[in-house]
């Protein structure tokens, strides 16, 4: 009788420190290495890409992330897993696009056509034909300008300036510009990319640029490759964690797992799955501390987090929508949170008792973060109770 291999929480934390490049000995030289190590960098908040990458770089610098995003364009931002923007390497981008982003763009375009019927005083009624013409005109205007904001493209394509009412009659009714929606869908579909922002790297006001067309791979093949990479970085883990991380259906999740040859394992909190070659014990890389930003890919890598986050800490570190704020880590567990005050000081607090060695290591990481940030001030897009309290 074959015994199902057991992977303990301690072993999962040892893998996390090594594979997510958080142990000092594992830090990377380039932003591309970091993005591949965590499969993709969360990019809903522009600052997260820089903070998450630099936490894992041997020589942290915003200029290194700028190079990858805007000079070499070796990192692309795609609306993908869980309808979240991720920055992924150009090598991985076709798999993310074919497995996830393309379907999101298709569904979003269909939703947009229905919603555009509610546009206020449209120059002409919106239908599939008008939307297609507007998309083509926007791409032509962008090609002529090279790079442009949505507002600038609206000067060339008046249809982009029209407004659509979202959730009419509801308490959260809001207006949305056609331009921001059209450009977002074109980006999800791989036609345009987010270029350098106006202002500092913390700015959400970005320009658009034409993107090189991504090859469309067979969806099943793309899903299997994405799952293989996720298991290599985040596994062993559970089927539920993978389904949550991807945002796929249970059927697609199970098919992709089967296609990778994933094997069952026992985790401390229930059944899990691992790549066939990932069953042997992994040695920890010594003690390590990390200050990770809000929405960091490690903190948001799993649905079930008890093995690295005590449930009693959740109310301090998450907002009401389930977004995690800045966190303090010690040896693979979240032990507190941090914030940056208006004067630039990095302040932190643990939510449980830690050793003197941990305190010294966390303080060293705070100094390391403050050093490369310099005069830059970062406020998380999603504020959490502990972060708000620390900046008072």
CA–CA separation, 12 and 124 (whole Å): 57
Binned at pLDDT 50, 70 and 90, residue 165 comes out as confident
Compute the average pLDDT of residues 3-25: 96
CA–CA separation, 49 and 34 (whole Å): 10
61 contact partners, CB below 8 Å, separation of at least 6: 54, 372
Query: For the chain, how many structural domains are there in total?
Result: 1
Is 382 inside any structural domain? yes
CA–CA separation, 218 and 225 (whole Å): 11
Is 352 inside any structural domain? yes
Q: How many CB atoms lie within 10 A of CB 311?
A: 8
State yes or no: pLDDT of 325 exceeds 90: yes
CA–CA separation, 65 and 32 (whole Å): 9
Is 245 inside any structural domain? no
Is 264 inside any structural domain? no
Binned at pLDDT 50, 70 and 90, residue 175 comes out as confident
Binned at pLDDT 50, 70 and 90, residue 122 comes out as confident
Q: Does the global pTM surpass 0.85?
A: yes
Give the residue among 214, 76, 192, 196 at the shortest CA–CA distance from 136.
Answer: 192
Q: What is the mean pLDDT of the chain?
A: 95
Q: What is the pLDDT of residues 268-305, one digit of tens each?
A: 999 999 999 999 999 999 999 999 999 999 999 999 99
State yes or no: pLDDT of 1 exceeds 60: no
Range of the domain at 46: 20-226+285-392
Is 262 inside any structural domain? no
Q: Using an 8 Å Cβ cutoff, are 194 and 206 in contact?
A: yes
Find tokens 């959260």 and name the residue.
Answer: 172
Binned at pLDDT 50, 70 and 90, residue 174 comes out as confident
Is 250 inside any structural domain? no
State yes or no: pLDDT of 172 exceeds 80: no
* Cα angle 83, 116, 184; round to 5: 35
**Gap between the terminal Cα atoms of the chain:** 60
Compute the average pLDDT of residues 29-35: 98
CA–CA separation, 206 and 53 (whole Å): 20
Helices (H), the chain: 9-19, 31-37, 46-54, 62-66, 93-96, 102-115, 128-145, 150-156, 178-188, 219-234, 239-246, 250-260, 314-317, 356-373, 385-390
- Please state, for a pLDDT cut of 70, what percent of the chain lies above it: 99
State yes or no: pLDDT of 314 exceeds 80: yes
Compute the average pLDDT of residues 209-214: 93
């Amino acid at each position: 009788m074959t015994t199902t291999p057991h992977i303990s929480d301690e072993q999962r934390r040892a893998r996390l420190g090594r594979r997510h490049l958080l142990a000092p000995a594992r830090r990377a030289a380039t932003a591309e290495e970091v993005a591949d190590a965590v499969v993709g960098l969360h990019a809903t908040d522009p600052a997260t890409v820089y903070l998450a990458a630099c936490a894992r770089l041997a020589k942290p610098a915003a200029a290194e992330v700028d190079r990858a995003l805007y000079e070499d364009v070796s990192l692309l931002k795609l609306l993908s897993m869980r309808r979240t923007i991720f920055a992924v390497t150009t090598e991985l981008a076709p798999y993310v696009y074919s497995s996830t982003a393309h379907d999101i763009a298709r569904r979003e375009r269909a939703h947009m056509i229905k919603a555009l019927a509610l546009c206020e005083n449209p120059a002409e009624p919106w239908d599939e034909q008008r939307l297609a013409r507007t998309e083509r005109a926007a791409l032509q205007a962008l090609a002529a300008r090279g790079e442009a904001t949505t507002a600038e493209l609206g000067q060339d394509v008046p249809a982009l300036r029209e407004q659509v009412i979202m959730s009419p009659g509801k308490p959260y009714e809001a207006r949305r510009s056609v331009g921001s929606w059209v450009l977002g869908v074109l980006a999800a579909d791989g036609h345009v990319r987010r270029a350098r922002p106006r202002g500092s790297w913390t700015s959400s006001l970005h320009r658009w640029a034409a993107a090189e067309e991504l090859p469309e791979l067979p969806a099943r093949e793309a899903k299997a490759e994405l799952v293989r990479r996720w298991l290599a970085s985040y596994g062993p883990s559970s089927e539920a964690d993978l389904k949550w991380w991807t945002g796929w259906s249970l059927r697609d999740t199970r098919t992709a797992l089967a296609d990778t040859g994933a094997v069952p394992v026992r985790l401390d909190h229930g059944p899990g799955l691992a790549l066939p070659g990932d069953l042997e014990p992994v040695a920890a890389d010594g003690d390590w501390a990390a200050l990770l930003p809000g929405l960091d890919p490690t903190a948001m890598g799993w649905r079930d987090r008890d093995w690295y986050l005590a449930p009693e800490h959740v109310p301090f570190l998450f907002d009401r929508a389930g977004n995690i704020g800045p966190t303090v880590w010690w040896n693979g567990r979240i032990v507190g949170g941090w914030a940056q005050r208006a004067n630039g000081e990095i302040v932190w607090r643990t939510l449980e008792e830690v050793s003197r060695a941990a305190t010294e290591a966390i303080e060293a990481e705070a100094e390391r973060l403050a050093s490369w940030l310099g005069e830059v001030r970062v406020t998380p897009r999603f504020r959490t109770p502990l972060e708000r309290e620390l900046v008072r």
